Structure 1
């Protein structure tokens, strides 16, 4: 669409005749006729008079020509040329911002997926520690496994065995953190010796699955943003 055709379209939309618009602009009707027939290009001053007469801003004027304006023809007016330059600058900033966001999403998503896949935040190795009972003060740590070595020679072994069986009180501690092959925990009547089981269990944790899902979602969103970015930043005028 040419500039002259667009001026005529705006005048018609405003329900104004050529004489009426020419009078409001302060120009001759014959000159306005030349403008509408693309036989003349308005100066910047005349263009501003046109905007005042139609009660439009440059933004309103240009947005009304979305997708139809002949850029080369319209850009002959300095105010419109400046408008195009501003649009290009704003569009470039928007384009860079979207690309930065897309790159950030892909980077963040990749990191989240890796952390979840490698179980770096939520370990999946489950360590099992077992204590056979409470070790009383002044008793050796291995009293439950080697109690017979500490029974006096003149004592009744069977009675000592029954006593130790009564004292057996199995306690299990499960931990995703490695606490060593064994550790001691103080309790009310003495202390407990916890020894790690020979087998380490693998326990699936929801946190790792969520991190992988979140990471994959961010990567896909970032890639999608890169693909549609040209459409989002494409100039409509």
Structure 2
């Protein structure tokens, strides 16, 4: 769903005309029409006003809420990285020295990539949590 579709759906749900919403936000009716038809995107100031008008956080307005899907994605990634790591660690004691060094190198690469990916996901969760906390 696009931002324009979301704005239109919320406006209709709250029984507002484009003129009334435009007046509340301090823009023209044509601006609201352009937003709803995805010709333009509202500036951040207007997105904030829209979220206040509809009593939503910005991430809810922009459909950034994970609704639990982010946690499932996090656990799948964690399981993948851990299985990959344990697979390499299992091979480490049974291999030749040159192969052992290669396995150790790939293990280090996987650890770095997993740490980076998990840190990025954790940062996203913290940002979402902080935006929800500011709402209240």
- Count of aligned pairs between the two proteins: 106
Residue 227 of structure 1 corresponds to: 122
Q: How does 1:1-237 map to 2 (within 5 A)?
A: 44-45=16-17, 46-47=19-20, 50-52=28-30, 56-58=34-36, 60-61=41-42, 63-67=44-48, 69=49, 71-72=51-52, 74-75=53-54, 84=56, 88=60, 90-93=63-66, 96-119=68-91, 123-124=94-95, 202-205=96-99, 206-230=101-125, 233=128, 234=131
Q: In the TM superposition, what whole-angstrom CA distance separates every residue of 1:119-140 from its partner, at most 9, and x where no partner exists?
A: 17x941xxxxxxxxxxxxxxxx
Separation in 1, partners of 2:31, 2:109: 56
Residue 231 of structure 1: CA displacement? Answer: 5.2
Bigger Cα Rg = 1
Structure 2 SS opposite 1:44: coil
Higher helix share: 2
Residue 194 of structure 1 corresponds to: none
Residue 48 of structure 1: CA displacement? Answer: 6.0
Gaps of 5+ in 1: 1-42, 76-80, 125-201
Residue 105 of structure 1: CA displacement? Answer: 2.7
Give the alignment's Cα RMSD to 1 decimal.
4.1
TM-score by length of 1: 0.33
TM-score by length of 2: 0.50
Q: In the TM superposition, what whole-angstrom CA distance separates every residue of 1:13-45 from its partner, at most 9, and x where no partner exists?
A: xxxxxxxxxxxxxxxxxxxxxxxxxxxxxx722
Separation in 2, partners of 1:229, 1:215: 21
Gaps of 5+ in 2: 1-14, 23-27
User: Quick one: structure 1 residues 85 and 44, their matched pair in 2 at CA, closer, same or farther if it must change by over 3 Å?
Assistant: farther
Separation in 1, partners of 2:124, 2:112: 18
Greater RCO, CA 8 A, separation 6+: 1
Residue 52 of structure 1: CA displacement? Answer: 1.8
For the 8 Å contact 1:102–1:225, the answer to whether it is kept is: no
